[in-house]
Amino acid sequence: MNDQHPPHAPAAQGAGTHRPAAHGAGTHGPDDAFAASTLAREGDARTAEDIRVALSPLVDEPAAAAVPPRRLPALYLGHGAPPLLDDPEWPSQLAVWSRRLPRPTSILVVSAHWATTPMAIGATARVPLVYDFYGFPERYYELTYDSPGAPELAATVRALMPANEPVVDMPRRGLDHGAWVPLLAMYPEADVPVLQISMPDLDPRHLFEVGRRLAPLRDEGVLIVGSGFMTHGLPFVREYMLGRPGAPAWSIDFDLWATEALARGDLDTLFAFREKAPGMPYAHPTVEHFAPLFVTLGAAATADEAPDFTIDGYWMGLAKRSFEVR
């Protein structure tokens, strides 16, 4: 096993308008000021319009044609902060992925950046985005994603939840960056209805059950997306943000452990990641970015089958591994 010392000097592998008033759970706040200032150095001259033009289209192959609804996979993806959209590789990877999927009738997102008790259903009409990040260049706060709302999907989600899973409406709560940043790369035309719901807590087994309840939506052409990050030790990757290649040992170890457990379909091991995973707690000082994975697994037809890994590698030392389940 690789060294798990605090990764201030980690072992490495080589080569809208709404902004939160204060830092809260699941937002990018003061601890990320260094990240913001570092990431902003690249492409400072780019405007929000430059980003939008670059994202549409990113790939030559056409998007899937509109067809009658058929079962869609469920996704777990790494979303990154808005500078993801300036990355030379990652947006194209997301775009290629989306082009290979059947066109969804709507998209249901569970993001690392929204956890409430009880579960909440976000806006079902167009409202301002949530710009839940701090200290970035102004162009990122000028980005918009004006997708249609999904009121029918919201009603179906509510109906799928059992009596002991209360659901509340938050009609003014727009999409946070865990939803709109990857969707800008995947569906830049913003022409697919999108609904975001919150995680009712961060308990893996509970989230898995939520995903199991949502699974029938896949047969209606709904794309279920758990949006997080396979590793998210932001306080411990400063030198990688400054250009150090590769990734710290704790990030590599956790990524490999999770990949192997997913390939085996070992749900019990994944449920116990806090105790069993190498690289903890550095890989996830807080666990909200791993938690959406369990909603995705719950939505699988057979949760113990190996997923299809679609994106791997590291971004600023963090594992961006993403996958789909069927």
Reported as a single tens digit per residue, the pLDDT across 222-266 is 999 999 999 999 999 999 999 999 999 999 999 999 999 999 999
Q: With 0.75 as the threshold, say if the pTM is over it.
A: yes
**Helix pair 90-100, 177-186: axis angle to 10 deg:** 70
Domains of the chain in sequence order: 30-56+73-325 (3.40.830.10)
Per-residue pLDDT band for 49 (boundaries 50, 70, 90) equals confident
What is the mean predicted confidence (pLDDT) over 5-32? 41
Stated as kind and residue range, the H or E segment containing 37 is helix 33-39
Q: What is the pLDDT of residues 265-315, one digit of tens each?
A: 999 999 999 999 999 999 999 999 999 999 999 999 998 899 999 999 999
* Distance from C-alpha of 312 to C-alpha of 90, rounded to nearest angstrom: 10
| Count of H-run helices and E-run strands, the chain | 12, 10
DSSP assignments along 206-227, one per residue: HHHHHHHHHGGGGGGTEEEEEE
User: pLDDT tens across 190-231, in order?
Assistant: 999 999 999 999 999 999 999 999 999 999 999 999 999 999
- 18: which strand partners? 130
The tens digit of pLDDT for each residue in 129-140 reads 999 999 999 999
